[in-house]
Structure formats: C-alpha cells, structure tokens
C-alpha cells in the first residue's frame, strides 16, 4: 500500500511539474504590442432623458439599453452607415442633445495637451435622419449643446462661437483671440494641466447667457521645443509659466445672446490670482466663481450678478498650507442651499450651507475621506459619495441623508468602486475592480440592488487562468516617527523564504496621489509579473504627502517637497533590507514624473541604500516646473529658495553611487526635457557615470507605435544588468 501511495504521489508531482511547465510566461510584446492584456470597458455612456435608458458606444455604433432589464433596446445610430459627402464618418465620441433628438459626433480627433483636442464635429438629427457638419467641417473644440438643445457653443482659434441649430446662424462672441496671446472660452496650458479643466465656458440654465473665462497670456514667458523629423527641425512654442514667473491674467465675462452684449466682470484690483472654478447656480442670473490667491491657501466663493456684475462673497476658506480645488460644489434646486467639500476637520468631508454662506450642518464626519462626492437625489434627500471609510486603500460607495444621518454602504466587495449615476439618481453603473481582478461594470438600482452585469472582462479573466499570477499582498511599514506607510508586495511565483531576492520599488509619491490602492494595476502589473518570474520582488509604498489618510499626512510635505518623501522611501527600503528573504545589497527603485523625481532624489540623497534607479520624465529642479503646481506645495521661489533647492536632485548629483538610468521625451510639454539636460550636466560636472535615453518628439506619456515596448525592454534589460 505504501508503495502504491508513493507511486501515485510521484506521478502527481510529475503531473504538477509538467503542468507548471505548460503555464505561459508573460512577455513585453503581449503587454505593449499586442492587445492581449487590454481591459474592455463601456465607452461614452450617455443617460437618456427618459430616465429609464442609457446609450453607449459599442463597436462603432450607438446602442440604447433599458435600465430595468439591462437589455439592448435599439441601435440609435449605426456607425458603418454614417457618411458625409460620400466619405465614411467614424464615431470617436458623441453627445446626445438634452432632448435626445440630436447627436453631436466628434471624429478625426487631434490631441493638443493632456485634456485638450481638436475634432471635426457633425450634427445628426435623429428625426430627420440628416447629418450636417459644424464649422464647415473644420476642426473645432469643446462643442456643447445649450440646455434647451437649440444651440451649440464651440471654440475655434482661441475665440468662442455659437451656432443656432434651427437657423444655421453663427454668432462670434469674441474677436480678439490669438495664439500665445489671448484665449477666450478655453484655458491656458497651466490651468488645463493643474486645475484639470479645459472648457472655460458655461451655458446658463435658461440658455440665454454664456459665461466664459478669458486668458491674457502675453506677459507669460514662452517655452520652445524643437520637433524633429524634417530636414530642419521645427520650433513649437507655447506659454508656460514656471515657478515665480508671470501667469496669465484671467477674467470672467457673461455674454447675453438676446442683446449680443458682453458684461466683463470686475473681480477686484488683484490680478495675480486664480479663477479655479466657475459654474452657474440654479438661478440663471447668478454665476458662481471660486477664486484663489496665488499661494492657493485662500479660497473665496463668489456669487456674481450676471446683469450688473455685483459680487458677493458668502464663503471664504483658508489653510496654513494649501487648499485643493475640486468639483464637489453643488447648488440645490430649491435655490437656497449648496453642498461644499472641505478638509478643515483634518479629513475631506461635506457641508451644507445656505446661499448666504451660513453653515447649516456638517453632513459627513470621521477619520476618513470623502474621496468623491457623486451628487444628491433631491427628491429623496439622499447624498451619494465614494469614501475611504473601509480603509485608505479602498474606495467604496456610500449614501447618507441630507440630515447627515442614516449613512449606509452600498457597494460590495473589497477594492475600488467608481460610480456614475443617472440624472435622477435612480440607477448607477459601478466600475468595480481590485488588485486581483480587472474591471467589472454592473448596473444597479440606487438602493444597491444589482440589475445586471454589463461587462465582466471574462475573456481577460479566462486568459489570466493560463498564467501563473503572483498576487499583490497589502501590508504596512512602520518607520521612525511612529509613521505607518501603506505598501504592497509581489513575490516570485516560486518564492522560497530561504532564498534572498532583489527588490524593485515603484514610487510616485506626489501630493494627494496613491500607488497603494486595492485597484487593478493595468499594464505595469503584467510587467511586474514578468519581473517576478525573473526572480525579483516588487514593492510599492506610499510616503507622507500621498492621499487617503487625511490632511495632516498629505500636507506634511508643504514647503519642503521631496524631503519627507525621500526619507520615507529610504526608510521603507531599510525595512525591506531587514527581511530575511531580501538581498539587502540589491534594492532598486523606479518611477515616472513625480516618481522619476523621487527616484532621482533617492539615488542621490539616499545613495547608501539604493543600488539601482530608473527615472522616467523626472523633475530635477523645481524651478523648472509650472507655477500653479509648484507654488501650491513650495510657495514662490522668491520666498522659499531653500524649499526649492534643498530637494532638487540636480543639486545633489555628486552623491550618486548606484546605477542610474534617466529617460525623457524631447517633446514633453509638461516636465520639460530641460530637466534631463540639467541633471545630465550636473552628473557630468560631478564626473558620475550613468545611462540616459531620450525619445524624440514624445510627450510626457512617451508612447506611440513601438515606443512603450522599446522603453520597457530597455528598462528590463537595465534591471537585469544592474540589480
């Protein structure tokens, strides 16, 4: 009997070994060249006016689904049949008119910066089944229906226009727009990047007025990039205010369509300020503007009479550090109240005010963050929000009454829930994913009852079953000062605790951001799987300054950006060195953008700990970066020189000891190639050997064609040689 059991075990072991040998290996080609690991999603969801249906772009068609059943009802528009002047039109994006009778279609889209783009726009009349071109088929931007569905406003060559659908009449609202000088109705580079919006005009609720911002950037210094490819390189110039330099002057105006007159609002004598958000209240004559001082530690809520220009300031917030702007301000339909979001308690929470600025009540409270206010069902007086109450690496959906009582979690499953409600807040679509599973899109009733799974990425999940996955495990790292850092770790699939492994740390570390969340890791996750198969442990730790843990943790880095971040990453690395299965002499680190900056700092100021570092598109001197971002966290360089210089990697190039790879795109409009040049000069001056690579004309994302594949092949080979 013993012999038979031994024989069976021997055969079983052989079968397991053979099966393991058959398990597929991860390759960079599958990550970056072939769409093997690409997630499927729901493209361009539009909620229909009926409240019981939604539309979505699927395989080039606009399909309509029923909310109650989750089943497809009809094809609203078949993309393959769409032509104009005999040429096919590909639907790249679309918007339904407020009355659901027309569709605004964008195609041949040409990206400009991170959020901005130009497109050809076509208007399709669903009743007449007629397609027409906006702006004679030229490329325009930000085409937006009026609330009454009768007009479309859009931008063209820095000016603002309105197209009347019934008559075909075009009204040019502004006349003085000119590249690199004046912009009307869209933002300048730094607003788009740092205040995260590009559309700078808003229709009034009654469709009779348009409020818009104008940017005078004539005094802003110009940045020049050479674009390579022809016999002679071409110069690309744009206005980019670096820290301490002049910003655009920004003004708000209101155009009245009936009178064709523009009211320019006088916001005060102070020009060096930011109009960081603007929107209409429920009153079509009252415009809401959020104004910040240049240091961004004072935020004022302005209520502006759109007929007279009179300004009232019902609310002012201040901070000893800085205030983050958000989109959480919601005016209620009763015309008397608004909901406001603030971290004044130490954590981001929601507050109810009357329109005069009187605080009525705090709606949420606790040692956790409201990470996203999703809106309010005013009939039922229920607010919906995403929060970190179940842990700072989690994002869960909650509901609470307008009274601030009856808080209830609606989402199920540990991970990240990103939710989109229909306008009546009776249904929502939940994009749920975790570190262990890609996105699953599901339709729910507002009370959290599941209606139907819309997209489960089953094909991707099935494909994953053919591979050996090394899961992320979450833990905390205790560092000096009684500080705990969230972290995750990926171990080799054949991990042996008796062996010692090299560690590659991944960092971002910038203000308010997290790399350690229970969320699907995307393409980098598969690269880490490949590295784990090669015998590397991968770790990421969120230093002080990152999000999810309240204002004190996030704002600890104020006026000394990089100092605590570098100390924390170094302390995390020392903790990893103490683990029995880690090779203490083989700790590497890599990051992109702020992560590239932090990597460069760790390789210089933390040179005793890190053997290898890869910095992609890093800031190397904070004096080179833009005004809004840099001054928010470091003040102006004229008043905090040490805050800039004491933690800029180029200042510490002489400390480099390990193997350092510096990568940058020459067409990076965000973190300029100037940063790489400065770092290289400093390293050469200090006679430090290093490796560098530049990608011609590539922007901050460094992509296009084989670019990402080439980059990750290079980084992999660099790690294999040096870690």
CB-based contact 620:598 (threshold 8 Å)? no
Q: Which of 253, 411, 593, 648 is catalytic?
A: 593
Distance CA 116, CA 669 (A): 13
Distance CA 199, CA 208 (A): 19
Residue that is written with structure tokens 């994953």 in the block: 464
Q: How far is CA 570 from CA 353, 425, 555, 611, 660, in A?
A: 44, 46, 19, 12, 16
User: b/e per residue, 353-380, with b = 16+ CB within 10 A?
Assistant: bebeeeeeeebbeeebbbbbbbbbbbee
CB-based contact 588:570 (threshold 8 Å)? no
Distance CA 652, CA 645 (A): 10
Strands of the 416-421 sheet, one edge to the other: 416-421, 427-434, 437-445, 450-455
Active site residue 345: no
- The residues near 699 (Cβ < 8 Å, ≥ 6 apart) are 665, 667, 668, 669, 670
DSSP conformation class of 199: B
Q: Which of 100, 431, 568, 668 is catalytic?
A: 668
Burial of 685 per CB tally in 10 Å (0-12, 13-18, 19+): exposed
Q: How far is CA 312 from CA 192, 269, 304, 305, in A?
A: 27, 16, 6, 9
Burial of 163 per CB tally in 10 Å (0-12, 13-18, 19+): buried
Active site residue 593: yes
Residue that is written with structure tokens 């909901």 in the block: 339
Q: How many residues are there in the chain?
A: 723
CA atoms within 13 A on the CB side of 9: 6
CB-based contact 217:223 (threshold 8 Å)? no
563: phi > 0 → left, psi -120 to 50 → alpha, else beta; which? alpha
Distance CA 719, CA 536 (A): 10
CB-based contact 506:527 (threshold 8 Å)? no
Residue that is written with structure tokens 């290996």 in the block: 25
Distance CA 635, CA 293 (A): 12
> What's the sign of the alpha-carbon dihedral 215, 219, 220, 224?
positive
Distance CA 233, CA 225 (A): 10
Active site residue 513: no
Distance CA 123, CA 450 (A): 35
CB-based contact 389:382 (threshold 8 Å)? no
φ, ψ at 721 (rounded to 5°): -80, -30
Residue that is written with structure tokens 């600890």 in the block: 556
Which helix (H) or strand (E) covers residue 485, if one does?
A: strand 483-490
Secondary structure of 238-264 in HEC code, one letter for each residue:
EECCECCCCCCEEEEEEEECCCCEEEE
Query: Which residues lie across from 697 on neighbouring strands?
Result: none
Distance CA 516, CA 139 (A): 40
- The residues near 181 (Cβ < 8 Å, ≥ 6 apart) are 216, 217, 218
Catalytic residues: 593, 668, 700
């Amino acid at each position: 009997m013993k012999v038979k059991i031994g024989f069976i075990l021997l055969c079983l072991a052989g079968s397991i070994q053979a099966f393991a040998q058959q398990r597929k290996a991860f390759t960079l080609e599958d990550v970056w060249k072939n769409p093997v690991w690409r997630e499927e999603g729901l493209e361009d969801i539009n909620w229909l006016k009926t409240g019981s249906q939604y539309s979505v772009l699927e395989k080039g068609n606009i399909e309509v689904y029923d909310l109650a059943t989750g089943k497809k009802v009809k094809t609203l528009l078949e993309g393959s049949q769409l032509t104009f002047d005999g040429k096919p039109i590909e639907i790249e994006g679309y918007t339904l008119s407020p009355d659901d009778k027309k569709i605004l279609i964008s195609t041949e889209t040409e990206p400009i910066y991170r959020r901005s783009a130009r497109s050809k726009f076509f208007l399709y009349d669903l009743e007449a089944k007629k397609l027409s071109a906006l702006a004679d088929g030229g490329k325009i931007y930000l085409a937006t229906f009026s609330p009454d569905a009768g007009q479309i406003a859009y931008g063209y060559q820095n000016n603002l226009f309105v197209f009347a659908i019934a008559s075909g009449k075009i009204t040019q609202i502004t006349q003085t727009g000119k590249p690199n000088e004046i912009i009307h109705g869209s933002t300048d580079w730094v607003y788009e990047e740092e205040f995260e919006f590009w559309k700078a005009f808003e229709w009034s609720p009654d469709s009779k007025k348009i409020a818009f911002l104008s940017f005078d950037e004539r005094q802003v210094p110009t940045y020049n990039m050479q674009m390579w490819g022809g016999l002679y390189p071409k110069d690309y110039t744009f206005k980019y205010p670096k820290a301490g330099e002049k910003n655009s002057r920004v003004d708000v105006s209101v155009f009245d369509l009936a009178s064709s007159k523009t009211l320019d609002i006088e916001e005060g004598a102070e020009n060096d300020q930011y109009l960081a958000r603007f929107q209409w209240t429920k009153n079509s004559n009252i415009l809401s503007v959020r104004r910040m001082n240049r240091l961004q530690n004072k935020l004022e809520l302005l209520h502006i009479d759109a007929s007279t220009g009179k300004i009232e300031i019902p609310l002012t917030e201040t901070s000893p550090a800085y205030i983050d702007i958000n989109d959480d301000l919601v005016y209620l339909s009763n015309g008397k109240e608004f909901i406001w979001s603030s971290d004044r308690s130490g954590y981001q929470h929601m507050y109810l005010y009357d329109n005069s600025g009187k605080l009525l009540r705090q709606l949420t409270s606790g040692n956790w963050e409201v990470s996203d206010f999703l809106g309010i069902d005013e009939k039922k007086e229920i607010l919906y929000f995403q929060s970190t109450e179940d842990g700072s690496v989690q994002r869960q959906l909650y509901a609470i009454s307008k009274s601030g009582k009856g808080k209830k979690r609606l989402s199920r499953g540990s991970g990240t829930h990103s939710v989109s409600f229909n306008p009546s807040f009776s249904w929502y679509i939940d994009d749920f994913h975790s570190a262990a599973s890609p996105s699953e899109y599901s339709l729910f009733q507002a009370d959290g009852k599941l209606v139907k799974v819309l997209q489960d990425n089953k094909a991707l999940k099935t494909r994953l079953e053919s591979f050996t996955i090394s899961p992320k495990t979450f833990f905390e790292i205790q560092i000096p000062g009684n500080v705990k850092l969230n972290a995750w770790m990926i171990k080799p699939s054949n991990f042996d605790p008796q062996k010692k492994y090299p560690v590659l740390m991944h960092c971002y570390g910038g203000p308010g951001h997290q790399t350690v969340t229970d969320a699907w890791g995307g393409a980098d996750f598969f690269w880490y799987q490949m590295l784990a198969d090669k015998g590397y442990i991968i770790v990421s730790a969120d230093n002080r300054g990152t999000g999810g843990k309240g204002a004190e943790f996030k704002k600890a880095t104020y006026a000394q950006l990089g100092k605590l971040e570098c100390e924390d990453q170094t302390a995390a690395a020392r903790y990893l060195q103490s683990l029995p299965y880690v090779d203490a002499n083989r700790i590497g680190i890599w990051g992109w953008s702020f992560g590239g900056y932090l990597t460069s700092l760790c390789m210089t100021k933390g040179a005793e700990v890190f053997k290898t570092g890869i910095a992609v598109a890093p800031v190397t001197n904070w004096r080179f970066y833009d005004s809004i971002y840099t001054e928010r966290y470091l003040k102006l360089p004229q008043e905090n020189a040490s805050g800039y210089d004491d933690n800029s990697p180029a200042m510490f190039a002489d400390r480099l000891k390990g193997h350092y790879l510096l990568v940058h795109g020459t067409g990076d409009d965000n973190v300029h190639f100037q940063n790489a040049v400065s770092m290289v000069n400093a390293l050469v001056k200090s006679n430090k050997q290093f490796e560098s690579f530049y990608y011609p004309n590539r922007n901050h994302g460094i992509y296009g064609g084989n670019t990402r594949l080439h980059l990750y092949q290079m980084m992999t080979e660099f790690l294999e040689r040096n870690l």
